[in-house]
Structure 1
Amino acid sequence: MCPSQDREPLRYPLHGSTALAAPGEWDVLHERCPFARVTLPSGDEATLLTRHEDVRQVLADPRFTNVLRARDAARISDEESGGVFGSDMAMAIPARGETHRRWRQAVGRWFTAERIATLRPGIEAMAEKLVDDMVAHGRPADLRTHLAYPLPVWVICDLLGVPAADHDRFAYWSDVLLNLNRYGQDEIEQAQDDFVDYMAALVYTKRETPSADLLSDLVIEWDPDREPMSERELVFTGQALLVAGHETTTNVIGKTVALLLADRRRWERLLDDRSLVHSAVEEALRFDADPGVGVPRYLDEEAEIAGHVLPSGTTVICCTAAANRDATVFDTPGEMVLDRSPNPHLAFGTGPHSCLGQALARAELQTVLHVLLRRLPSLELAAPAADLRRLEGLAVGGLSEVPVRW
């Protein structure tokens, strides 16, 4: 099973038998092959890590960078830049050291738990409105279209100060940035140029007429002790936050609800005890078997991980979803345990590049569940869970639709 130098590498990403199922290879990889050779959608080879401790160690190690523009780095997608991880956006945001720390500090103060708590009433009000609209539409309905997509879009637009009316444009641009094999090179280049032009115009507007939003704050630099961001950093920071702020959250909302409804005993348990929503969200994040391609890292010097020497020039794929099913860390990892505690999952990564928006994502997930449990207690899937379709062609994993009725 373990691909050695004289055997064919595994084709990656790995998929389960259904859109919600875990790949069968994970158990074998955990036990026998902690460093597996894989072929990426681009055709390039990389090293796949699936064990919790190994993934956690690499993500926390500053020697492994998140920029894949080096000549010998593996490309994730088949486009010339290798996709979002090798894009101009990835290159513009500081990747390590003091400049990266300052960037995270400037942006991260907008994503603290305290600040996100002030956003919760607005998130709940919007979720209520979207559920109203879904009910008015009638059943069955696609929960992704009516709730899982528009809620994160509204939230990140409001936080950044981006006109929500433009959401269809940057949703398309986001998909192109996250391309694996869905778009051609000409379309990719045009979309990237258009996205940059849009963000540059928005930065100019914020400089001329600032308001109380994240992008205006970064442009105006209210804090005199902070080093100003360059125009390029501002454009690509706004771009990165727009992409990350809606695309991944949209997908995880859809999958969380689908997982809870796939075995309706889970939904019934939450109906009986709403205090479990917090731990259920964490368990859904852990149990998610398809978050996408994982977390790629490039190593520009030799490093030893778990007794295995990785040479300089290695591209590592940290499969956080597989790490979250590691039986040495989680009891009964193949079961969804709504009150699991502790739950040291790696869905948001760890270390210097852990997800800045994790408090916001948690707030949105928890709010969605509370609203749905209260408003639509009879909610159920309108199609067999085995028939749900996987989102194809992008670096993020999700469901193309989440059909529901009530």
Structure 2
Amino acid sequence: MDARPYPFERPSALEVPAELGDLRREPVCPVTLPSGDTALMVTRYADVRRLLTDDRLSRNIGRPGAARISKENRMFQDPRINPDPPEHTRVRRLVMKAFSAARVERLRPYVQGLVDELLDKMEATGGGRPVDLNEALAFPLPIQVICKLLGVPDADHDQLRGWTEAFLSVSRFSKEDIGRSMKEMNAYIARLVESKRSAPGDDLISAMIRVRDEDDGALAEYELHWWCRLLLLVGYETTATQLGGGVALLLSHPEQLAALRADYSLVPQAVEETLRWKLVGSSVSMLRYVTEDIDMDGWTIPAGSSVIPAVDSANQDETVFEHPELFDITRTQNAHLTFSLGAHFCVGAALARLQLQIATESLLRRFPGLKLHVPADKLQRQPGALLEGFISIPVEW
């Protein structure tokens, strides 16, 4: 089978690529990444689920011969960091404490207050004119939440967003622009760590510094900086993209929207269904490296291969999800893999769900007449970005 360019094109911003259905006839297929490198894409739910918990599938894609996502941006390829267990597990255990279900639940009043404040501003500035949901709610909410959790000053939010866009660029920014942004970001992290060291607070960065300084060797200085950068960079944009896209998906399905408005207890199910549609983009960020031969049902993934466990395909697998092509907020059997599994299950899943549920329900309650200002098929995604976020989501009420 010839390698197909990946990510696949969507018929429109909110639709699933047609190739995802066709390719599940084959358990594995070669794809060409934006870098020009080739990887094997695993398409079926059972196989993807199995691979996500297989220790022979490594996140260390900085190895010689490993496929790259981008020509211009090394992204998560850092030779000084081992993103696999046991090193990864040691730091992850600390980070997970900040994102535990109990601690996240304690953030509920804070998140609700932020949402209410943002909706107040949205209502005041609307005045019969369309409002970009991205700028009014989807981006400001998660960036403020993650910055509070990490202890980042409010005044620094805007520059953080600019650095994130560069870091998550596949082809949107030049190599020089990406390098400059990362240099600025690294210098900022160094200053932030030193300020927390001098005046620690009740935040995750201060907690990581305490581990570093009180138990030398438990968290190396470079690891400390790397994890601070990673959490700041990816800790909000996935939620922002999912929130805006999820609302747009609801607004583009009037019968589902009406069902939700009639029964807001369906909000958690509605959020899970938008997550199943993997609105944040393709599975190219799931790129892995195979350290040993992996025998599947009747076929083998050879050691040295670069592999993409295609969560976007798995989430549409008709052997697992009844009528997966339908957007159905009443779906009860919804074991989607959007947050991954195993050692690399998303540490921020509980926090993301909290924000998505509160923001979606509050938005729809506040604006009973909320609708898209443009047809859903006219929405556009950001080309050349890892998360393929929506450029804008104009709404009116």
TM-score of the alignment, normalized to the shorter chain, above 0.5 = yes
One-letter code of the match for 1:53? A
Matched residue type, 1:11: P
Q: 1:110-130 CA deviation, whole Å, 9 max, x = no partner? A: 101110000011111111111
Structure 2 residue corresponding to 1:76, chosen from 69, 73, 78: 69
Match of 2:291 among 291, 300, 309: 300
- 1:285: Cα distance to partner? 0.2
Is 1:15 aligned to residue 32 of structure 2?
Answer: no
2:16 is equivalent to residue 26 of structure 1: no
Deviations 1:334-356 (A, max 9, x none): 11111211211001000101100
Q: Percent identity?
A: 40
Give how far 1:183 is off: 1.2
Tell me the residue number matched to 2:91. Answer: 103
CA contact (8 A) 1:22 1:290 kept: no
Partner of 1:219: 209
Q: Structure 1 residue 398: deviation in Å?
A: 2.2
Give the 3-state SS of the residue equivalent to 1:47 in structure 2: strand
Structure 1 position 144, deviation (Å): 0.5
> 1:346 aligns to what?
337
What corresponds to 1:210 in structure 2? 200
* Paired residues for 1:108-123 under 5 Å: 108-123=96-111
Query: CA distance change for structure 1 residues 226 and 120 in 2, over 3 Å: closer, same or farther?
Result: farther
CA contact (8 A) 2:381 2:388 kept: yes
Given candidates 158, 167, 179, the residue that maps to 1:177 is 167
**Residue aligned with 2:391, SS:** coil
Partner residue of 1:239?
A: 229
Which of these residues, 55, 59, 63, is aligned with residue 62 of structure 1? 55
Contact (CA 8 Å) 1:289, 1:321: kept in 2 or not? no
Structure 1 counterpart of 2:240: 250
Cα distance in 1, alignment partners of residues 238 and 229 from structure 2: 14
Distance 1:41 1:198 in 2: 30
**Residue deviations 1:200-220 (CA, integer Å, cap 9, x gap):** 111111111100111001101
1:26 maps to a residue whose letter is L
CA gap of 1:100–1:393, structure 2 versus 1, over 3 A, is: same
Q: Distance in 2 between matches of 1:315 and 1:52?
A: 19
Asked if 1:49 is matched to 2:42, the reply is yes
* C-alpha distance after superposition, 1:271-321 (max 9, x if no partner): 100100011101110023552324111112222233321122111112211
The CA RMSD measured in Å over matched residues stands at: 1.7
Aligned with 1:397: secondary structure? Answer: coil
Structure 2 distance, partners of 1:289, 1:166, is: 27
Structure 1, residues 62-113: CA drift from partner, whole Å, max 9, x if none?
Answer: 111112111100010112xx53232x3xx55542233222211100011011
Per the alignment, residue 329 of structure 1 pairs with 320
**Compared CA separation, residues 382 and 244, structure 1 to 2 (3 A):** same
* Unmatched segments (≥5 aa) in structure 1: none
Structure 1 residues 59, 152: closer, same or farther in 2, change over 3 A? Answer: same
How big is the shift at 1:154? Answer: 0.2
CA distance in 2, matches of 1:225, 1:204: 17
Moved more, 93-102 or 351-360: 93-102
Task: State the TM-score, normalizing by the size of structure 2.
Answer: 0.96
User: What SS does structure 1 have at the residue aligned with 2:235?
Assistant: helix
Deviations 1:343-397 (A, max 9, x none): 1100100010110000000000001012112211211111100100012111113
Gaps of 5+ in 2: none
Q: Number of aligned pairs?
A: 394
SS in 2 for 1:85: coil
Deviation at 1:58, TM superposition (A): 1.2
Relative to structure 2, which stretch is displaced further, 157-166 or 289-298? 289-298
- Alignment of 1:391 with 2:377, yes or no, is no
Residue number in structure 2 paired with 1:128: 116
Give the aligned residue type for 1:43.
Answer: G
- TM-score, structure 1 length as denominator? 0.93
Q: 1:73 to 1:158 in 2, by over 3 A?
A: same
Q: Secondary structure at the match of 2:16?
A: coil
**Contact 1:296–1:318 (8 Å) recurs in 2:** yes
